[in-house]
Amino acid sequence: MKSPLTRAQDPSVMRTTVVRKWGNGHGILLPRAFIDSLHLEHAEVETVLRGSSIVLTKKKEVAAENLTLKEMVRGMRRDDRHDIVDFGAPQGKEVW
């Protein structure tokens, strides 16, 4: 039989935290119960401002091996795209 959750372990219990200076930005620490129940360890989250609330949503994971080149390029931001670089003629034993 599973032992009952303590208040600290229960992800449904509302908690208060403090916004703190973190490098050049600000951040909050999320309770371990939230991280564990939503599997957020090292996960990317999306944030949106709704009225006076900040909503965090775990970003859906897409298996990279299932993406086509077209889908990968479509997911790039404009500032991720760079000009073609010409490195000149092959030097040494490169095979092109």
| C-beta separation of 7 from 13 below 8 A | yes
Per-range mean pLDDT, top range of 17-21, 33-37, 80-84: 17-21
Please check whether residue 96 lies inside any domain of the structure: no
pTM: 0.50
Confidence at residue 95, expressed as pLDDT on a 0 to 100 scale: 74
CATH number for position 67: 2.10.260
- Domains held by the chain: number: 1
- The parent domain of residue 32 ranges over 20-80
Confidence at residue 2, expressed as pLDDT on a 0 to 100 scale: 59
Please check whether residue 14 lies inside any domain of the structure: no
**pLDDT mean across residues, the chain:** 83
Confidence at residue 60, expressed as pLDDT on a 0 to 100 scale: 79
Please check whether residue 15 lies inside any domain of the structure: no
pLDDT in tens, 54-64: 999 998 776 66
